[in-house]
Structure 1
């Protein structure tokens, strides 16, 4: 059941970064809000960054925009490479007020949401020299042998006046017992070669693109931890992703090639929500009842380059491309339209 839930969350492209943070991050509240927030942000930020970059994938497969009234329906799937540098971070216990490693040096590499702690890493909660309890740091996706982050997107494109194309994308709203999500996006592509004198006769097209994605998700859980009791426990995520690019492609009848240079920017806001009764911990939190105790923020700004090829057969088109960015991605698109 845990593996099935994880797969579902990965396909939602965002809540996978939270399935392993439940008891581990909740228990960290016992060490105080500052320590809990410091660890939780370092643990989850690679996942949020990967999602922001991932949402920028698959927007285009040519620099040539559609004629007025032309349309295309696309199913776009991709896998993003996580990379070793995103699976762990250096945790220095001197940066924390009440946490110290049970064994080993004061600075150790510990797993992020994409990583794994093998063997498990245990930290003690210590106040004024007295040990108040211990916490096992949460595992990440590597403990389920996950090395890539997949996504799938439905997208529609429509040719507008003045050499412009509108793109709309979405995933159907998902609502289950413990997961809900919605995703949508919009983009505009404008072809410059249509209005630059002499360029129309050349076998290439050049255009500019701007696109925006929005993802909102919620993961609800009922498991209780040993140090904290809670009600209405859930994790919510709100992600915004922008992609800007200059595109160039060939204009041949059957097989074409395309490429782009651009940038990705975005932000994520993840909250641990609910009412939490901290039964044991440091003086500043012990015996308290807190509401919505953690907020995890992340933002990215990065460059991106894409190369790809497209095969056109009547109403059917197939494209494949590879994007070089913080999380390199392979995309495949199946497209139907005129």
Structure 2
């Protein structure tokens, strides 16, 4: 049952991650490979940045619905959906500002190209490799998130288990086995620790609220097949994007239970690093040698985060919702079961 739930939630994940099968078929990011290794890397980076940043913030959501730790062997299991709102300013980018060495955008004439979350605008590029060798190609369109998904952002589902281990300390685990959808495979694993700090402060340890600190870490790994966009110099090596995302969250938490409702909040810091590498063997020009592992992209997102929310307690079942102010604001809703 749990594996089935994880697989169903993963489908939502796979259509919102930057290298998802949906993005591959409708956006065709591999078209950028026609620009050559250096320029393709810059174009891919600009095209994917809003999705990667949004997804990374999404996977830092859903870690807590209270500041109260479990008793030893108390536990909770919950499902949350994290909706990240991407600013409209991230819908387009300007290729002429990327420092491209041999590639230029020739249409549309306004010089704006869509990012992966942007409009379904057709683009045309031309690359001049010298010696009379040129390549003219269409760039990937945006997925027009606001029109297709009715939200200017991405969704990141999580399934999480928390268990009390020792002296008002919870261990939290979030996990999804490797799932394949189209040309993309993805999996994630995360760990978190919540610790009650009020017990260590004599002046407030008996006051009627809960105070704790939380540290959470999530690792997402995946691949997307890029075969077929440019010839391979070594067919034994898969042409693909390999990506790894490491997301950290550090927050101070406070909560107060009133009858059936728990009000909670947190203030802290997001720190996310993502690597996306194009691996395999590629022939970018007919007369040139093959190039191996031509593109390495790196993304970093760091910033403060403030969260406020509430949880409705219906016996062992709870329903929660919270909103986080950060670089890309985040709405989280959750459902779970908890036994103290």
Task: Provide the TM-score with structure 1 as the length reference.
Answer: 0.86
* Equivalent pair of 2:12/2:157 in contact (CA under 8 Å): no
1:26-175 matches, cutoff 5 A: 26-29=33-36, 33-92=37-96, 95-102=99-106, 108-116=111-119, 118=121, 120-126=122-128, 132-142=134-144, 145-146=148-149, 147-175=152-180
* Equivalent pair of 1:52/1:241 in contact (CA under 8 Å): yes
Give 1:268 deviation, angstroms.
Answer: 0.8
Relative distance call for 1:235 and 1:128 in structure 2 (3 A) is: closer
Match of 2:330 in 1: 329
Give 1:137 deviation, angstroms.
Answer: 1.9
* Equivalent pair of 2:172/2:192 in contact (CA under 8 Å): yes
Give 1:28 deviation, angstroms.
Answer: 1.8
Relative distance call for 1:156 and 1:8 in structure 2 (3 A) is: closer
Give 1:176 deviation, angstroms.
Answer: 5.5
1:185 aligns with one of 186, 190, 204: 190
In structure 2, C-alpha distance between the alignment counterparts of 1:248 and 1:168, rounded to whole Å: 21
Relative distance call for 1:274 and 1:158 in structure 2 (3 A) is: same
1:185-334 matches, cutoff 5 A: 185-222=190-227, 224-225=228-229, 228-230=230-232, 231=235, 232-280=238-286, 286-334=287-335
Relative distance call for 1:149 and 1:103 in structure 2 (3 A) is: closer
In structure 2, C-alpha distance between the alignment counterparts of 1:21 and 1:296, rounded to whole Å: 18
> Which SS does the other structure have where 2:112 is aligned?
strand
Give 1:18 deviation, angstroms.
Answer: 5.8
Give 1:287 deviation, angstroms.
Answer: 2.8
Give 1:294 deviation, angstroms.
Answer: 1.2
Deviation string, structure 1 residues 100-129 (Cα, Å, up to 9, x no partner): 232576x822211222352x2212223569
Aligned residues: 320
- Runs of 4+ in structure 1 over 6 Å off: none
Q: What stretches of structure 1 of length at least 5 have no aligned partner?
A: 1-5, 281-285
Q: What stretches of structure 2 of length at least 5 have no aligned partner?
A: 1-9
Task: Provide the TM-score with structure 2 as the length reference.
Answer: 0.85
Structure 2 residue 29 is the aligned partner of structure 1 residue 25: no
> Which SS does the other structure have where 2:61 is aligned?
coil
